[in-house]
Amino acid sequence: MRYYVQRVALAILLLLAVSMLTFGALNVLGDPLFNILGPVAGDVNNPDSIKMIEVAKREFSLDRPLPVRYAIWLSDFVRGDFGVTFSSTGQPPVSGVISERLPRTVTLVAMAQFFAIFVSIPWALITASRAGKVSDRISTLNAFFLVAMPNFALAVILKYVFSIKLGWMPLTYVADDPLRSRLFQMILPALTIGLPVAAVYQRLLRTDIITTLQQDFILLARTKGLSRPRILLLHALRPSLFSFITVVGLNTGALIGGSIVSETVFRIPGIGSTLVESVLRNDFPVVLAIVMIVASSFVVINLLVDFAYTLIDPRVRR
């Protein structure tokens, strides 16, 4: 129990540090006033501009010191008030933009993780059980190729081959389509993110399964007369999953990073592509909100991974 409390406390501390860093970077490195007003912010000779600057400063509390602004922002943020977007007309609340787009990204990342896990596990099992043979070597080389393919390049290739040349997959994502076709439209984007990660998982899991297969308890399982697939699935897989789970957790970051690229290439209006657009438009509250949401979910996922550990390995249970 103490372990769980400690881990949660650390996670909260981390989130605070992450938010300070993000908020600080945006306010110190960036110029919030310029972000709000655009060129007007620099025009201090024009009385109209000065008036606008005054108003903006009051409205966004820019006249207060940084720590106070941070406190105000944080208390708003935890209550779900992410501010308003600067650039769109009518200043819609950021929370609306996020709640519309976040589910798409979550679906995409989940789908990618699903592909990665369910491609890598059978792949690793098969190659580990034929370690050293030709088929294993070819697959190791394949994994190398996949890992070396940056996901934006993979996205372009998949799009070219499957959407443009073969025409098997739709070219674009249509937000108004029914759920089933939207899921279908996400397959290529999810593969873009998931395949290189699957190669990473496979390499790790293959090594761990090979190590497990040399354990005495596998020999015992053989003396019971169990078939090879059964031994692999029932005896070798689970004890080999420890580092796999950690890496699956850690790679969620890579998947989110991948979703930024994939959403941009395949034109999916998720928070990844929104982050890029907002960054290019200097839309400060949106950037802040997205970075915070992404980092928080990353911290929380890692926390859950640590807890999942205790479920898989009965030895670390307390």
Judged by CB under 8 A, the chain residues 235 through 274 that form the site for other proteins are 235, 238-239, 250, 252-254, 256-258, 260-261, 264-265
**Residue 44 CA: distances (Å) to CA of 1, 53, 124, 197, 198:** 59, 9, 64, 51, 55
| Closest distance to other proteins from the beta carbon of 291 (Å) | 5
Q: Binding of other proteins at residue 41 (CB under 8 A)?
A: no
Round to whole Å and give the CA distance between 84 and 100: 15
Q: Which of 106, 163, 233, 310 binds other proteins (CB under 8 A)?
A: 163
**Using CB under 8 A as the criterion, what x/- string covers residues 187-216 for binding other proteins?**
-----------------------x---xxx
Give yes or no for a contact between 113 and 252, defined as CB atoms under 8 angstroms apart: yes
Round to whole Å and give the CA distance between 267 and 264: 5
| Closest distance to other proteins from the beta carbon of 90 (Å) | 24
**Chain residues 2-31 in contact with other proteins, contact rule CB under 8 A:** 14-15, 17-18, 21-22, 25-26, 29-30
What's phi and psi for 84, nearest 5 deg? -115, 150
Considering only the stretches 51-59, 77-85, 146-154, 176-184, report the one whose residues sit in contact with other proteins under the rule CB under 8 A.
146-154
**Chain residues 276-295 in contact with other proteins, contact rule CB under 8 A:** 276, 279-280, 282, 287, 291, 294-295
* Greatest Cα-to-Cα distance within the chain, rounded to the nearest angstrom: 90
| Closest distance to other proteins from the beta carbon of 50 (Å) | 25
Non-local CB neighbours of 176 within 8 Å, separated by 6+ positions: none
Q: Binding of other proteins at residue 318 (CB under 8 A)?
A: no
Q: Binding of other proteins at residue 151 (CB under 8 A)?
A: yes
Residue ranges of alpha helices (H) inside the chain are 2-24, 32-37, 47-59, 66-78, 94-129, 134-147, 151-158, 179-185, 187-213, 216-223, 228-230, 241-266, 271-281, 284-312
Q: Binding of other proteins at residue 148 (CB under 8 A)?
A: yes
Non-local CB neighbours of 126 within 8 Å, separated by 6+ positions: 135, 139
**Given the complex with other proteins, which of 179 and 280 has the nearer CB atom?**
280
Q: Binding of other proteins at residue 313 (CB under 8 A)?
A: yes
**Given the complex with other proteins, which of 49 and 213 has the nearer CB atom?**
213
At which residue do the structure tokens 């957790």 appear? Answer: 249
| Closest distance to other proteins from the beta carbon of 189 (Å) | 14
Q: Which of 72, 164, 175, 304 binds other proteins (CB under 8 A)?
A: 164
Considering only the stretches 39-47, 82-90, 92-100, 145-153, report the one whose residues sit in contact with other proteins under the rule CB under 8 A.
145-153
Nearest partner of 155 among 19, 31, 257, judged by Cα: 257
Q: Which of 114, 160, 184, 307 binds other proteins (CB under 8 A)?
A: 160
Size of the residue set binding other proteins (CB under 8 A): 72
Round to whole Å and give the CA distance between 104 and 110: 10
Round to whole Å and give the CA distance between 143 and 128: 14
Give yes or no for a contact between 33 and 53, defined as CB atoms under 8 angstroms apart: yes
